[in-house]
Amino acid sequence: MFTWICPQCGKEVPPAYTDCPNCAERAAQAAQQAQAPAVPAAQPEPAPAYVPPPPFQQPAAQYQPPPPPQYQAPPYQAPQYQPQAPPPPPYNYPPQQPPQYAPQQPPPPGYWMPQQPKKNLPTWLLTLLVAGGTALVIFGAIWLFSAHSESKPSTAVENPAAKPGSATNPIQRNIEVSGVRFDVDPKNKAKVIVKFVVTNHSGMDLSGLAGNVTLWGSTHKSDEDAQGSFSFATNLRPFESKDLEAPLSTKFKIYEMPDWQAVTTDVQITAPVVQ
C-alpha cells in the first residue's frame, strides 16, 4: 500500500486523503483560538513595605558600682644630700735628683785598644781528643768485662758418676728424671732442695735404684758450669713413677736458680749394677 508524504509537516498520509489531516487539524485549532476572547494576564501582588525594627533600648542597670577613688600624689620632698669629705691633700714626694755620671773622656788621639783573640781549638786537635776518648771508653768496657769474668766464682759441681771413663749402666736409658722444682730447705733456709719425678720406662722391677743427677741450664755447653747436682735412691716397679726430693749441692742461692723451663738433667745410674 502506497502513502504520500505531506510537504508541510513531513508525515505520511494515506492515499485516500487528498489533504493532510494533520495540517487541517492544526488549522482548525488556530481558528478557534483566534475567535476566543482575550483573557487579561494576572497582575502580581505588590510586596509588603519594609518596616524597620524598633531601636534597641538597654534596660536600666539596677547595680551601679561606686566611682573609683581619685589618685592623690604624695607630697614632694626635696632630696637631702650628704656633704662629701674633702679629698686628702696630695702627697709631696721628695724631689729626686738625676744620677750623676762621670763624664766619659774620649781616648787620646793615636790610642789603639787591642781586641782579645778568640781561643778556638783546631780541628785536628778536636779529632784526636774525640778518638782518644772513644778508645778509652772501649778499652775500659773490655777491661771491666774481663775482670768481672775472672772474678766470677767457680760454680762447678763435681759429679762422681759423670767422670770421664766411667761405664754407663745399661738401664740408664730407661730411667727419666723430670719435673724439677727448687725450694728452700725447711730445716736450713740457706740450703736448697730439689723436687723431681723418677720414671721407669722398662718392664723390669728395679729394687735399690740409685743415681746421680747433674742440672744444667737450657743453653748447656761444654764450657759452662753446672747449676747443681743431687743423688737419689728408690725402688720402682715396671712402668712406675715416683715423686722424690733431695738436697741440692750447689753454690747458687734459691733466687739465682733457673726456672723449670730452663733446666735440663744429666742422669747417671749407679745401682743396681747390670752386666
Task: Report yes or no on 8 lying in a domain.
Answer: no
Q: Is the pLDDT of residue 164 over 50?
A: no
Q: Which residues contact 205 (CB under 8 A, 6 or more apart)?
A: 236, 237, 238
Residue 64 inside a domain? The answer is no
Name the nearest CA neighbour of 253 among 159, 196, 163, 185: 185
Looking at the domain assignment, is residue 27 inside a domain?
A: no
What was the pLDDT predicted at 176? 93
What is the tens place of the pLDDT at every residue in 253-265? 888 888 888 888 9
- Classify residue 249 by its DSSP letter: B
Q: Where are the beta strands (DSSP E) in 45-174?
A: none
Mean pLDDT (whole number) for 129-150 = 79
Least confident of 46-50, 189-193, 225-229, 256-260: 46-50
Domain around 224: 160-271
Q: Answer yes or no: is 238 within a domain.
A: yes
Identify any residues that bridge with 229 across adjacent strands, giving them in sequence order: 214, 249
In a domain, 65, yes or no: no
- CATH number where 246 lies: 2.60.40
Domain count, the chain: 1
Instruction: Give the tens place of pLDDT for each residue, 194-229.
Output: 999 999 999 999 999 999 999 988 765 555 668 899
In a domain, 205, yes or no: yes
pTM: 0.41
257: in domain: yes
Q: Is the residue at 5 inside a domain? A: no
